[in-house]
Structures are given as structure tokens and as C-alpha cells.
Amino acid sequence: DSGVTQTPKHLITATGQRVTLRCSPRSGDLSVYWYQQSLDQGLQFLIQYYNGEERAKGNILERFSAQQFPDLHSELNLSSLELGDSALYFCASSVEPNTGELFFGEGSRLTVL
Amino acid sequence: DQQVKQNSPSLSVQEGRISILNCDYTNSMFDYFLWYKKYPAEGPTFLISISSIKDKNEDGRFTVFLNKSAKHLSLHIVPSQPGDSAVYFCAASSRGAQKLVFGQGTRLTINP
């Protein structure tokens, strides 16, 4: 158990819809990262927050947005969903912004039909 | 632009033998490299790392080798055990960057 909690674990929705994925980082971790893993692909970095502020952005689509709340949990919002958005979405946390060890949650599997 | 590449999608090794997983990178700014291990229905977990100032780092049965001139790193597992069967991801980062860049992963299967 990494200490990072993601909900929901599975989500099935239709094209055009909007979903919100939630992440609670390890106790004490200020940084939250979001990664996307599509079929047979590596983990693609989406975005990082540190103590409530956006710190780094990757290949995140304009239809996607995220935020980190005062209690340090984070939400990833995916809107106008397309079939290609079907993927595993991982949240990870670390003590501070760093380029080293991240602690990953179990992921949220999104299926867009 | 795949900056970190794991060219072998899968690898099968007999129990007790050595497993060698390979990773190549293109970005010369990368100075920190990590290996993560992932079991089904779980998130990736950190396994071992190496800084660019070293060429080898060892932790028990796991050793990572870095060849900066070839922009290549490898993970050696000796001896391989059935519990090592998992997907292994190579990752890299550069000082000041806030993200890890991951390879596509290699599925390692250890056969009894």
C-alpha cells in the first residue's frame, strides 16, 4: 500500500461526457502528479501540483484540467470525452517537488464507450 | 518523441537465471534514472535509481548500470524469482524538471 488513494477505481462513461478523478496523496506529501497510461503505452505525464499551485505541465489536453485543494487532495477533470481518452490514470505523490521517487496510487481505469 | 525507449515489450527468463532489462534515452539533459515495477491492478512502485555521476548502483538482487556515452541503462536481476514477474518501467528526469519521463515498459515473466 503506497498510501496514495485514488477513486473511482473503474469508470465507464459515454463520449461527450465529463468525469472527475480524485486523488488523496500520502500523508505529508505536498506534491501530486497525474499520469496517463494508454494501452501498451508508457506513463505520460499530465500535470503536477505542489501545495495547491500548478508546478509543471505535460501533454495535457485543453479538455482536461486539474486542481489541488487546501487539504492537498487533487482532482483531474476530463471533459468532452472521446474514445481515445480511455486509459489508466495514475496519481502519484512525493514529499516535495523532486525528480526521484514517486508513490503511485492504484489508478483509475476510464472506459469511454 | 519518445525520449525513453524500452525496445523489448516482453522478456521470459528461467527461475534462478539472470534477467536483463534494457532502456535507451535520447535526451542528454537527463541526469537521474529510475526503475519502477508494476504488478497487475497496482500502481508502479519504485525499485532502484542511479544518478548520472555513477555507472552502477546495486541493491540486493537488483543492479542498475548506466552507460552515458551510449545513453543506455540496464537493470540486472540475479537470481530471478517468480515474484519478479511484473512490468518494469524505466524512467528518467533532469535537474530542475518536475516530471519523470517513462518508457513503454517491459513485461518480465519468470518461468519455474
Query: Which chain A residue's Cα is nearest to B92?
Result: A99
Q: pLDDT per residue over A41-81, tens digit each?
A: 789 999 999 999 999 899 899 999 999 999 999 999 999 99
Residues of chain B positioned with their CB less than 8 A from the CB of A55: 98
- Check CB contact of B69 with chain A, cutoff 8 Å: no
Show the beta-strand stretches assigned E in chain A.
5-7, 10-13, 19-24, 31-37, 43-50, 53-57, 64-68, 74-78, 87-94, 103-104, 108-112
pLDDT band of B1, cuts 50, 70, 90: low
What confidence score (pLDDT) does residue A97 get?
Answer: 65
The model's pLDDT over B77-112, given as tens digits with 9 standing for 90+, comes to: 999 999 999 999 999 998 767 688 999 999 999 999
pLDDT band at A95 (very low <50, low <70, confident <90, very high): confident
The length of chain B, given as a count of residues: 112
